Amino acid sequence: MLRRILGSWQGQFGTVVLAIIVGLGLAAPWLSPYSPTDIDPDAFSMPPSAAHWFGTDEIGRDVLSRVLHGATVSLQVVIFAIGLALIAGSILGLVSGWLGGLWDALIMRIMDAFLAFPLLVLALSIVAVLGPDLINAMLAIAITKMPGFARLVRAEVLSLREADYVVAAQAAGARPLRILLRHIWPNVSGNVIVYGSLSASQALITESALSFLGLGVQPPTPSWGYMVATGIQFYQSWWMSFFPGLAIFLTVLALNFLGDAVRDAFDARLGGSHD
């Protein structure tokens, strides 16, 4: 699978760009020329220069340092939100597809209720109830992505629970939990991974939008979305919004390309298995 992913130019581009962004984020404490919260009273809204490669913001903080530290925050939100949505949605999908009947109807109607709202509107509503905070933004994004995982897993379980090897396992006296984990989940996990990789870019965009509206990461913690929102207020200082916006663009592009490569790799594997 790794060879297939890295064998395409989308996979190579996504992997390299994402690895660079993650590496810069993790090494931000050592690479940053300044602290992301240090204020220089003599450098308010300074354009890019030798002292401040990406310029400074409206209160004299180094934009480069804030972009580097913002990478850790944004990617942390993506990993936590997609991971939580994957786990919760997969469990609900397995239970719904396997049990069927009333449980299936109840779980799917709840998921349909979440899907009735646009993703960003639902996330905004959840954060508005819980309060603006990094953890609450993660939970909101996870809740908005959970129904997609649940419906995907349910559909796969419905198609697999009548398979011969599942019926044989039931006839042999295997418990439902063992059947789900040993026989059904391995055949479902591939599509779940593909959906998760494609959903990561949406999670990053949602986090940036929440921070842009002041409902995500709270200052002075650096966040790409909040930096773009602040830069728009000072349109003459273009660097304040350009560089964090560029970071969002490159990260979303890398996640999309990597997601496409993962999808193509799994499709190639499944296609080869039918030959």
Domains of the chain: 2-273 (1.10.3720.10)
- Region 59-69: mean pLDDT is 91
Res 271: pLDDT:
52
Q: Measure the CA–CA gap between 61 and 58, rounded to whole angstroms.
A: 8
**What angle do the packed helices 9-26 and 239-273 form, to 10 degrees?**
130
Res 268: pLDDT:
61
Burial, 9: exposed, middle or buried (Cβ in 10 Å; 0-12, 13-18, 19+)? exposed
Q: In which band, very low, low, confident or very high, does the pLDDT at 37 lie, cut at 50, 70 and 90?
A: confident
Q: In which band, very low, low, confident or very high, does the pLDDT at 273 lie, cut at 50, 70 and 90?
A: very low
pLDDT in tens, 177-204: 888 888 888 888 888 888 888 888 888 8
Tokens read off for 266: 């799994």
| Cβ-contact 217, 226 below 8 angstroms | yes
Res 269: pLDDT:
57
- Region 218-225: mean pLDDT is 84
Res 93: pLDDT:
93
- Is the pLDDT higher at 271 or at 39? 39
pLDDT in tens, 79-113: 999 999 999 999 999 999 998 889 999 999 999 99
Phi/psi of residue 62, each to 5°?
Answer: -70, 120
Residues 6+ apart with CB under 8 A from 118: none
Q: Measure the CA–CA gap between 227 and 177, rounded to whole angstroms.
A: 47
pLDDT in tens, 126-162: 888 888 888 888 999 999 999 999 999 999 998 888 8
Q: Measure the CA–CA gap between 96 and 110, rounded to whole angstroms.
A: 11
- Region 45-52: mean pLDDT is 89
**Mean pLDDT score across all residues of the chain:** 87
Which of 57-71, 214-228, 250-264 has the lowest average pLDDT? 214-228
Q: How many CB atoms lie within 10 A of CB 77?
A: 27
Q: Measure the CA–CA gap between 242 and 227, rounded to whole angstroms.
A: 9
Which of 47-61, 140-154, 216-230 has the lowest average pLDDT? 216-230
- Nearest to residue 157, comparing CAs of 89, 110, 259? 89
| Cβ-contact 153, 188 below 8 angstroms | yes
The whole-model pTM stands at 0.84
Res 65: pLDDT:
92
**What angle do the packed helices 239-273 and 185-212 form, to 10 degrees?**
170
Round the CA-based radius of gyration of the chain to a whole number and report it: 22
Q: DSSP alpha helices (H): ranges in the chain?
A: 2-7, 9-26, 28-31, 63-99, 101-115, 119-130, 134-160, 164-171, 176-179, 185-212, 224-233, 239-273
